[in-house]
Amino acid sequence: MTETMALFPLPLVVFPGATHTLKIFEPRYLDMVSDCMRNDRGFGITLSFEEDDETVAFAEIGTVMKIVDWDQAADGILTIKVLGLKKFKIEDYIVGQNDLIMGELVFLDEEQTSSIPSSLNELIEMGMSLHERAVSPMVREDVDWRDALWVGNRLAELLPLNLEQQQAALALNDPMERLQMFSSLFSGEDVDIELVDREE
C-alpha cells in the first residue's frame, strides 16, 4: 500500500532520528511547508544528485521528515527544523503544476536493532570521539552507544562520507550490515555503492 507525499530533493541524506535546519524560499516549498503544518503531515527528503531544466533525478530511498520548529524572517525566508522519522521507497511520482514533486511512497519496515559485537568496538570509539566534537544540530542528545541501529545512523552523519556513501548506507535495512560497511570503508576494503536514479 502506498501513500502520497510531497518530496523535497536535496543534496542531503537524512537518517531517522536526525534533526536538520532547512531554509525555505521557493514558492513550491513554502506551500509544501504550509500544507504540512496546517494538516500535521510530513514530507520526504530524497537525495538529489542531478537536476536541470528538463531532468529530475533523485534516489528512490529517502526519509520522511516532521517539522518540529519554524521561524520566518522579515525577508520571507522560512527556517524550519525537521526530524527524520522513517525510511521510504518511491514507487512512482508526478510533478504538479507548481513543480512540486508528489511521490507514491512505500514505507520500509522498521529496522531491528541489536547489540554491537566487540569486534566492532572501534566504531563505537570512533563515534564517541566524533560525537563529542560535533557542533552540527543533526546530532541528537539521546545517545545509546550499544544500539547498532542508533550508532550506525549517527556514524553515517558524523563520518567523512560522500553523499553516495551516505545514500548507500541509508539504503541498507540491516543495522549490522551498515556497521560492517563502515568498518570495511575504514579498513581500506572496496565497498559496492550504488544509487538508483529516476528521470523524467
**DSSP string for residues in 137-160:** TTS-S---TTBHHHHHHHHHHHS-
Q: Residue 19 phi/psi, 5° resolution? A: -115, 145
User: Higher model confidence: residue 127 or residue 195?
Assistant: 127
Identify the structural domains of the chain with CATH numbers, from first to last: 3-107 (2.30.130.40), 118-185 (1.10.4060)
Higher pLDDT, 140 or 88: 88
Place of cell 556513501: 165
- Contact of 44 with 36, CB cutoff 8 Å: no
Q: What gap in Å lies between CA 16 and CA 170, rounded to an integer?
A: 9
- Rounded to whole angstroms, how far apart are CA atoms 66 and 42? 5
Which residues face 87 on adjacent strands? 63
Any idea what DSSP says for residue 98?
Answer: T
Q: Which three cell numbers stand for residue 159?
A: 563520518
Beta strands 78-95 and 19-24 are antiparallel
Query: Does residue 123 contact residue 156 with C-beta atoms inside 8 Å?
Result: no
For the chain, the helix, strand and coil percentages under 3-state DSSP, each to the nearest 5: 30, 30, 40
Backbone conformation region of residue 40, classed left if phi is above 0, alpha if psi is from -120 to 50, else beta: left
Structure confidence by residue, pLDDT tens digits, 137-193: 555 557 788 899 999 998 998 888 999 999 999 999 999 999 999 998 877 554 443
Give 136's contacts (C-beta < 8 A, 6+ positions apart).
Answer: 157
All three cell numbers of 34: 504550509
Model-level pTM?
0.85
Q: Is residue 187 within 8 Å of residue 123, measured between CB atoms?
A: no
For residue range 18-50, list pLDDT tens digits in order.
999 999 999 999 999 999 999 999 999 999 976
pLDDT at 81 over 70: yes
